[in-house]
A and B are shown apart, each in its own frame.
Chain A
């Protein structure tokens, strides 16, 4: 056994998971047992969980009586000790038909995967429930993460449920609602003067010093597995098939990669027939290193030093999964596209006014790009699109508030009300 294993396996007995075959390096292909490691021993590349799909017996009927959470797919999640699962009910969020927005956009079929409905209001509950559960399995006594805010809240909530401390590293410009949320769940907030990438780097250094499971750093191979359930659910909710097009917001690109892995696993298990989904990645213009690489034909992602965007949850200048997201978009015949801050705000309002869904700016990015691609003809009007809305607007209210005028105040009298409504009617008529 190598020096590497001797060092990383202290306190983590090697366990055998019935369905986990190996951890495989996404860069050089080297394989490792499923233990407490997060990077390749040879090249430091990221590791991914490979399952024994041949041993997994699942058909469409298997899911009929299961819970309406992402744990309905437990055979395809990297947890072996079910008693350690920390479950707040993440996943199995609504896939909403969007008739009004279809009409406005002139699109035949649109669905919104509404991940604002997760327990802490964002898709990050998916990786957090898996990662915190795995951290307990590995025997960690504390968890944490580096986050632009959503993961902070998700990790903190699951840590609270598990009754263990949580340390979150966030950039100091993180939205106040997200900080408040994580702090209220009891997390220790480490507010770093700098960008997300600087907070993330500090967290990586801290993982060397403290015995903390930093979910998106040293639990990362397991953490990203939670996110693929979004794709499982979409297939199941569409009647066991993959969508024609899927639009996914990209910060690190990890969600896009996980969703693609999920689609492929369902195909390989025979739960869906074939896979022709075009994967479309969406970034805000002020932080769009993956889009820039896609458009320039590069296979390398040049990091952005200082992201400038209202979509703070996507303000990751050095996207960890960027190169893999690029490959997936290209292989699937998809594209990468960006939206300006103005387009993002318009996207948020359009979604809210037509479908009653209040999204954070990352959701506005996907709607803005949907609109843009229909306009440019890159998305056929007679096609079908699933748009992922990954976080609630309540988490970014201060950003969204800036785009609205202060409400008119009136005295509590009917006369005043009538004046106001008349003004509103005239305003609506233009």
Chain B
């Protein structure tokens, strides 16, 4: 299991009460599931929709790279990777 650091932004950080959390996980999905266990349904419902899909406006970056250009939730994680979860990034 890799140890990664997840930084949460906006409302997500308000729910957890912590901006940065260290978790273990070999994929992004595993790392996030640790967060949903730790912070409960209220947190999980913010990340996933009713069908269990990642919400459209939840943006996740591994080492600053958008996971849509990696392997989405199946992106593999390495030790010391930095994950950012940022809701509602609408630009332009």
Which residues of A pack against B, CB within 8 Å? 3-4, 7, 27, 38-41, 43-46, 146, 196-198, 200-201, 203-205, 208, 216-217, 220, 251-254, 302-303, 305, 316, 318-321, 323
Contacts and interface: CB of A to CB of B under 8 A. Distances in A.
Contacts of A320: 89-92
A251 B90 CA distance: 12
Given A45-B56, A208-B10, A321 B15 contact: no
A323 B56 CA distance: 11
A254 B9 contact: no
A217 B66 CA distance: 18
Given A204-B9, A319-B92, A197 B66 contact: yes
Contact of A254 (B61, B88, B92): B92
A254 B46 CA distance: 25
A321 B13 CA distance: 25
Contact of A216 (B14, B15, B91): B91
Contacts of B87: 39, 44
Given A4-B11, A319-B92, A303 B66 contact: yes
B91 A217 contact: yes
B89 A204 contact: yes
B57 A196 contact: no
Contacts of A252: 90-92
B55 interface: yes
A420 B30 CA distance: 72
Interface in B4-20: 9-11, 13-15
A200 B59 CA distance: 12
Contacts of B14: 3-4, 7
Interface of B: 9-11, 13-15, 46, 49, 55-59, 61, 64, 66, 68-69, 84, 86-92
Contact of A321 (B10, B46, B90): B90
B89 A200 contact: yes
B15 A3 contact: yes
B88 A41 contact: no
Contact of B91 (A39, A196, A302): A196
B47 to A, nearest CB: 10
A84 B56 CA distance: 35
A303 B90 CA distance: 13
A146 B89 CA distance: 11
A205 B91 contact: no
Contacts of A43: 49, 55-57
A205 B20 CA distance: 13
A211 to B, nearest CB: 14
Contacts of B55: 43-44
Contacts of B90: 46, 216-217, 220, 252, 320-321
Given A4-B14, A27-B56, A46-B57, A146 B91 contact: yes
The 10 lowest CB-CB distance pairs between A and B, nearest first, are: A252-B92, A320-B90, A39-B88, A200-B91, A44-B57, A44-B87, A204-B89, A44-B88, A316-B92, A305-B69
Contacts of B86: 201, 204-205
A205 B92 contact: no
Contacts of B64: 198, 201
15 contacts: A3-B14, A39-B10, A39-B57, A44-B46, A44-B55, A198-B64, A201-B64, A204-B9, A204-B86, A204-B88, A205-B86, A216-B91, A220-B90, A252-B90, A305-B66
A253 B10 contact: no
A302 B66 CA distance: 12
A38 B88 CA distance: 8
B79 to A, nearest CB: 23
Contact of A41 (B11, B49, B89, B91): B11
B81 to A, nearest CB: 17
B67 to A, nearest CB: 11
A419 to B, nearest CB: 50
Given A205-B9, A320-B89, 15 more contacts: A3-B14, A3-B15, A39-B57, A39-B88, A43-B56, A43-B57, A44-B11, A45-B56, A198-B64, A201-B59, A208-B10, A217-B89, A303-B66, A305-B66, A320-B92
